[in-house]
Amino acid sequence: MGAFLMLIDAILFFFFIVMATSPMVDAQLVLPLSLFPEWMVEYKNWYVGGFNDYCYVEKPHFFIGLILVELVFQWPLALANLYGMLAGKSWYNTTCLVYGASFFTTMVTALTELIGSGKASDKLLLLNYPFLGFSLLAILRGLLHPSSSTSSKVTKKKRI
């Protein structure tokens, strides 16, 4: 079980790194562009053009709401998960579960729009599908407990 958890954590480490940096692009939808360096704005424009992400162009209200959830709730959790993973914190499973459930909800909402609208390119869909899988992996990691050899044992004191 220990090797399996280490594999999951290795995959999630790269996922959380991506998720810790992606708000720098997504925040451009809700904050003034003057707050961002020009190269970051150009990167967002390259992404929008390269993947034909119409949600970044049309800015539907639900999508702006998802971006706000990402910035206010998911981004701090991604950073906490990175810290919890690297520092071996006991609360890592809990934050991983919460993050996974929140991100899964976000991805289902976004993919439902992308598929249902018929506007999304295959390239955009192929970019988003793995993130649904990563969110499920985060949920799984949150539900799995570390092996008994690494977990702390609670001892009960006798009452007199």
Is the CB of residue 48 less than 8 Å from the CB of residue 40?
A: no
Using CA atoms, how far apart are residues 64 and 108, in angstroms rounded to an integer? 15
Residue-wise pLDDT tens digits, 83-111: 999 999 999 999 999 999 999 999 999 99
Is the CB of residue 25 less than 8 Å from the CB of residue 53?
A: no
Using CA atoms, how far apart are residues 159 and 88, in angstroms rounded to an integer? 33
* pTM, to two decimals: 0.84
Residue-wise pLDDT tens digits, 44-81: 999 999 999 999 999 999 999 999 999 999 999 999 99
Q: What percent of the chain has pLDDT over 70?
A: 91
